Structure 1
């Protein structure tokens, strides 16, 4: 029988956060868009619109719907991974990993839609994964990320 090593209290688990409501909305919107474009492609060929739709036009409409759905799904990409060494922020197109020494403050300004990392020289980075519309989940996430930041700065 092997003993399971006890969890070390000084080592905190990494924090991984993804937005909840935007994720759901993006997937629902993407599925609805593809469905709508497929229905339009099927109906246009059989309806007397005065325009002659061919198979290539139908395929193009479905592909257009897939491209639009792919654009909507980009909204589902944001994620934050924070650990004792630093924070990785993946927004819609760009992923950046920053050590805690570069991050001056983890902020969620009043009235803001999402959190941000305050950086040197009055710069900041948006953290789209922690969004105000997620309510309590956003509060829990920002609290956990701030705790890691404070621990890294020895506060």
Structure 2
């Protein structure tokens, strides 16, 4: 992780919410889920490769071909890739608005569309409160990241309030 100015007090410390660009943009990514999905991907790939190797070495009464082994490894690669999708969420916010990339879906909001940034008790993800009692979850800011999530919500709230002061 890079060393940049902390978003809470201006001291040179480790940035726990993400990286802060030179233009004041804040980029937030999940932390613990990256490790968990990476471990799951490695485990899935190892299991499917092991099964593929053992398909032809064990006498099971069924004739397995090399194509079956390759297909089994392909399934493992596919499932490992699917597990890594949980590591892709990201939030990028600057003075103009916030861009939220969840799994497979991205959306950009101007700060004028956002009523507030919240992290309700018991929720897994932080969210943007929108008009008409709607909200949009930000999967990059997760409860399991604890202090990182708090710092990320505070950074987004600062950008939100700065945009509404102007």
In the superposition, the TM-score normalised over structure 2's length comes to: 0.84
Following TM superposition, where does structure 1 have runs of at least 4 consecutive aligned residues deviating by more than 6 angstroms?
none
- How do 1:55-94 and structure 2 match up within 5 A? 55-94=66-105
The equivalences for 1:10-49 within 5 A come to: 13-49=24-60
Residue among 51, 56, 61 paired with 1:50:
61
Partners of 2:81 and 2:94 lie apart in 1 by 30
In the alignment, structure 2 segments of 5+ residues that lack a partner are: 1-9, 11-21
Query: 1:12 deviation in Å?
Result: 6.4
Shift of 1:52: 1.2
Shift of 1:134: 0.4
- 2:132 corresponds in structure 1 to 121
Q: How high is the TM-score relative to the length of structure 1?
A: 0.90
1:30: Cα distance to partner?
A: 0.8
Compute the displacement of 1:154 (Å). Answer: 1.1
Higher Rg of the two aligned structures: 1
What is the RMSD computed on CA atoms of the aligned residues? 1.6
Give the alignment partner of residue 103 of structure 1, picking from 89, 99, 114: 114
Aligned-partner Cα distance in 2 for 1:83–1:33 = 38
Q: Tell me, which stretches of 5 or more residues in structure 1 are unaligned?
A: 1-8
